[in-house]
Amino acid sequence: MKWLLIVFYYKLLMRPFLSILVGVKLVNSENLRQSGPVIIVSNHNSHLDTMSLMAALPFNQLLRTHPVAAADYFGGSWLKRFISRWVLNAILIKRTREAGDLSPTDQLIQFIDKGHSLILFPEGSRGEPEQIQSFQKGIGAILHRRPQVPYIPVFMSGMGRILPKGEKLLVPFDAYVVVGNSRIVQREGVLEIVDEVKQAILVQRDQYNQLNKL
């Protein structure tokens, strides 16, 4: 049942909605095709970010790819929890840990070790349209402990203008998802890894800027 719900939502509902009605343009989306676990990392301005990335994945990767979301926002009611886990295929992470809880890093590594992939937004929360915020340490902590797992840097533009934070109505605007090549982390320290990932995303932003000049 879960497979059917996920495929219906992302492939039959969101994919045509985003590409035809919203006009989201995918650049190098073939880079998302992976045979093993991978961490997709991107800037974050809108709820459309997750939908665009998941809808762009091949069918055989959907069930084993999980957006990482805040439990207090996406799990605040039974209905939200059901949608998040059974339709969006998200992993819900508590922002505040209680005694006995695994750390967010440990929770996510458990999924990676089972061969599952993650979609992470290192900024943590949605920022202002077209602005990149400071990155949190989570992505660095995961890649520090699992340096053999590749990551894919992505830069998205326009999503925050189509559906800004706090808004419910879509505004017509061009949007792009620029996907980089998968790569293995080269640095060792947590903060150094965070900076490496950020720079890789900025490279995709440069590619987007080049596309707009053509």
Give me the residue label for tokens 């998941």.
54
Q: What is the pLDDT confidence band of residue 47, given thresholds at 50, 70 and 90? A: confident
| Cβ neighbours for 199, distance < 8 A, ≥ 6 positions apart | none
- How confident is the model at residue 45, as a pLDDT? 83
The secondary structure of residue 208, as a DSSP letter, is H
When computed from its CA atoms, the radius of gyration of the chain, rounded to whole angstroms, is: 16
- How confident is the model at residue 13, as a pLDDT? 93
Is the model's pLDDT at 214 over the cut of 60?
A: no
| Cβ neighbours for 133, distance < 8 A, ≥ 6 positions apart | 123, 124, 125, 127
Q: What is the mean pLDDT of residues 125-131?
A: 71
Identify whether the C-beta of residue 18 lies closer than 8 Å to the C-beta of residue 24. Answer: yes
Q: What pLDDT digit, counting tens, does each position of 147-163 carry? A: 999 999 999 998 877 77
Q: What is the mean pLDDT of residues 86-99?
A: 85
- How confident is the model at residue 112, as a pLDDT? 97
Identify whether the C-beta of residue 177 lies closer than 8 Å to the C-beta of residue 52. Answer: yes
- How confident is the model at residue 127, as a pLDDT? 66
- How confident is the model at residue 96, as a pLDDT? 74
Q: What is the mean pLDDT of residues 102-129?
A: 90
Give me the residue label for tokens 């440069």.
206
d(CA 133, CA 58): 30
Question: What domains can be seen in the chain, in order of their start residue?
Answer: 2-213 (3.40.1130)
Q: What is the pLDDT confidence band of residue 132, given thresholds at 50, 70 and 90? A: confident
Closest CA to 170 of 162, 158, 178, 180: 162
Is the model's pLDDT at 145 over the cut of 90?
A: yes
Is the model's pLDDT at 28 over the cut of 90?
A: yes
d(CA 101, CA 151): 26
Residue 168's Cβ-count burial label (10 Å; 0-12, 13-18, 19+) is: exposed
Is the model's pLDDT at 95 over the cut of 80?
A: no
Q: What is the mean pLDDT of residues 64-83?
A: 87
Is the model's pLDDT at 125 over the cut of 90?
A: no
| Cβ neighbours for 16, distance < 8 A, ≥ 6 positions apart | none
Q: What is the DSSP string of 57-96?
A: S-HHHHTTEEEEEEHHHHSSSHHHHHIIIIIS-PEEE-SS
Q: What is the mean pLDDT of residues 103-110?
A: 94
